[in-house]
Amino acid sequence: MKRWLSCALAALALDTPAVAGNPPEWSQPIRPFKVAGPVWYVGTRGLAAYAVVTRAGTILVSGPMADAAGQVKRNLRAIGVQPHQVKWILNSHAHFDHAAAFADLRQWSGAKLVASAGDANALRLGRHEADNDNGFTRFPAVPVDRIVRDGEQVRVGTVAITAVLTPGHTPGCTTWTLPISEAGNPLRIVFPCSISVAGNHLVANRAYPAIAADYRRSFARLATMRADIVLPMHPELADVLGRAARRDAGDARAFVDPTVLPRIVAEARADYATALDIQRKR
């Protein structure tokens, strides 16, 4: 338990718009692996990208930094997904460590980029928005092809993934949910958007005045959400790679853990409360 918490806190600290000397695992190649149902991990060791693979096409959930776009392409090809089969790319949140590869991946595949309205401007400008200790960091600008509202679905064939708006970390932070069946059991996969403070100004944020209230609403919403399998954009938050190893060693239900999302929310709430108290005293 202590090891899990230390990893989670480390991930919360790292999920920032800019980190001097990015962790090497953010760009470290890793072989793709199946998670559950139609979902595959196709990101790097430290930054997740997930492919929902169906006969009708593939949905790519999030992406890594710009220098890792080639790794995602190679991983997709390794699992049999060709560029034209990628139909949609889903934004989690418009920070350089998750959105910087979008322009390359969109051009490579011809897929349409999907985001909520709150992050669309940042993606189009290639610029993080909201007052932050790290400033307004930049990444390759990319067109947004489709704006989704809360509860709206993105489909390929009979598979539908649903947008759940959880703003705070960014104005358009979007959590995605996907029902699957694994060994005859219905399960819900949740791809949570980040809810860490990560240098955001919670007090007097001129670029994002509603940030503090949005965080609180998103905490409350995620805390009540059913999540059998949690697949965050920073995989260490849910020990995604460790669970894959345990599954491959014989634990068929290694990924299934309904306690993960409540733990992430509890840790993020505590981090938020501490950051808010410090910022109010400045």
Higher pLDDT, 242 or 137: 242
Predicted pLDDT at 22 = 86
**What are the start-end ranges of the H helices in the chain?**
2-14, 69-78, 96-99, 102-109, 117-125, 211-223, 240-248, 260-280
Whether the predicted model's global pTM rises above the 0.85 cut: yes
pLDDT for 152-183, tens place per residue? 999 999 999 999 999 999 999 999 999 999 88
- The average pLDDT across 177-192 equals 95
**Burial of 44 by CB count in 10 Å (0-12 exposed, 13-18 middle, 19+ buried)?**
buried
CA dihedral 112, 115, 117, 123 (to 10 degrees): -80
- The average pLDDT across 140-148 equals 98
Long-range contacts of 257-262 (CB under 8 A, 24+ apart): 257/228, 257/229, 257/230, 258/226, 258/227, 258/228, 260/227, 260/230, 261/190, 261/192, 261/222, 261/223, 261/225, 261/227, 261/230, 262/223
Please check the confidence at residue 20 and state whether its pLDDT lies above 60. no
Helix (H, G, I), strand (E, B) or coil at 194: coil
Predicted pLDDT at 137 = 80
Q: Please give the mean pLDDT across all residues of the chain.
A: 92
Spelled out in words, what is the top-level CATH class assigned to the domain 2-280? alpha beta
Predicted pLDDT at 183 = 87
Domain range list for the chain: 2-280
**Burial of 121 by CB count in 10 Å (0-12 exposed, 13-18 middle, 19+ buried)?**
middle
Predicted pLDDT at 46 = 97
